[in-house]
């Protein structure tokens, strides 16, 4: 099953947060997602979920500091435990992991290894709890200057070196179009190690049809793979959400059922 998930951080931003969830449900989407949980009303979110029937596709994992920095590692395990507790309350199986800003004066090899070592410390926990961590590369050319992890290739290396079925890649189509292009071939080559997708058009991070990505073809390509999960609408619409997402939802129905 492939389905769309509305990002409550980006859609219906004029509404109070919990009302955004209900608005996403009214669009006909089956799920929503959000970033950090520390500033969220988790019982209130659960109540809206129960009322609307929406699932949570993903939330951000608290890493208690950048994974590139080994001195922050002791705090990662308890932070991950707390993140999993919140995920369980919401019935969420996927936690998004960002790795932090590159540390000046420290080799990339050392920072890469710090990420691997940090993730390995929580592998027994995430495997026992039945959740999946998805590591997110971000573009450093437009939105996230100085972030350590940009390429799919290095993200896949991290996944391989950690070596757990519960640690995968978050493939953000928007970020990777900016970073490297070659979207369809890259997705098909790595889909077994992709645990979640994000999407938005380039430039601007708006809805499909406003930029250069042929999302109908990207959806078709994903549908031809064994991927079974969510594609998060992490985009800021240029017009009312129902109008902005009409084509995207039609493509999803056509290719994902």
Residues 6 or more apart from 250 whose CB is under 8 A from it? none
pLDDT at 257 (0 to 100): 87
> 42 preceded by cis ω (within 30°)?
no
C-alpha 32/C-alpha 58 separation (Å) is 8
Across 204-211, average pLDDT: 98
pLDDT at 87 (0 to 100): 98
Across 102-121, average pLDDT: 98
Please, how many CA atoms are within 13 Å of residue 247, restricted to the half-sphere of its CB? 12
C-alpha 108/C-alpha 127 separation (Å) is 28
Q: Which helix (H) or strand (E) holds 242?
A: helix 241-244
Q: Which helix (H) or strand (E) holds 183?
A: helix 183-190
Domains, the chain, with CATH or none: 3-256 (3.20.20.150)
pLDDT at 184 (0 to 100): 98
| Beta-ladder partners of 171 | 197
Alpha helical stretches, state H, 34-145: 42-52, 76-90, 108-129
Tell me the per-residue pLDDT of 67-90, one tens digit each, with 9 for 90 and over. 999 999 999 999 999 999 999 999
Across 215-220, average pLDDT: 98
Check pLDDT > 90 for residue 237: yes
Check pLDDT > 90 for residue 32: yes
**Tokens 């031809």 belong to which residue?**
224
Across 237-249, average pLDDT: 97
Tell me the per-residue pLDDT of 3-25, one tens digit each, with 9 for 90 and over. 999 999 999 999 999 999 999 99
**First-residue to last-residue Cα distance in the chain:** 8
Using the Cα atoms of residue 155, residue 181, residue 253 and residue 24 in order, give the sign of their dihedral.
Answer: positive
Tell me the per-residue pLDDT of 140-181, one tens digit each, with 9 for 90 and over. 999 999 999 999 999 999 999 999 999 999 999 999 999 999
Q: What distances in angstroms separate CA 51 from CA 5, 54, 88, 197, one per listed residue?
A: 17, 8, 18, 26
pLDDT at 96 (0 to 100): 98
| Nearest alpha-carbon partner for 176 in 206, 145, 210, 213 | 213
Across 29-43, average pLDDT: 97
| Nearest alpha-carbon partner for 60 in 198, 174, 185 | 198
Tell me the per-residue pLDDT of 218-232, one tens digit each, with 9 for 90 and over. 999 999 999 999 999
C-alpha 66/C-alpha 139 separation (Å) is 17
pTM: 0.97
């Amino acid at each position: 099953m492939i389905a769309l998930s509305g990002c409550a951080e980006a859609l219906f931003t004029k509404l109070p947060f919990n009302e955004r969830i209900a608005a996403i449900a009214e669009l006909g989407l089956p799920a929503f997602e959000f970033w950090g949980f520390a500033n969220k009303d988790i019982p209130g979110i659960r109540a809206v979920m129960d009322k609307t029937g929406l699932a949570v596709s993903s939330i951000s994992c608290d890493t208690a500091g950048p994974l590139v920095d080994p001195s922050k590692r002791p705090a990662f395990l308890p932070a991950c435990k707390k993140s999993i507790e919140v995920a369980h309350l919401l019935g969420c199986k996927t936690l998004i992991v960002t790795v932090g800003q590159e540390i000046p004066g420290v080799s990339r090899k050392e920072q890469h290894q710090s990420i691997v070592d940090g993730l390995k410390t929580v592998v027994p926990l995430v495997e026992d709890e039945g959740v999946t961590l998805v590591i997110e590369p971000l573009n450093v050319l437009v939105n996230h200057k100085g972030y350590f992890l940009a390429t799919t290739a290095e993200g896949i290396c991290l996944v391989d070196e950690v070596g757990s079925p519960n640690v995968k890649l978050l493939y953000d189509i928007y970020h990777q179009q900016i970073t490297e292009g070659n979207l369809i071939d890259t997705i098909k080559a790595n889909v077994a190690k992709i645990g979640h997708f994000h999407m938005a058009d380039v430039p601007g991070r708006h809805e499909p049809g406003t930029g250069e990505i042929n999302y109908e073809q990207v959806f078709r390509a994903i549908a031809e793979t064994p991927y079974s999960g969510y594609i998060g609408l992490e985009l800021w619409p240029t017009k009312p959400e129902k109008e902005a997402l009409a084509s995207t939802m039609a493509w999803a129905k056509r290719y994902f059922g």
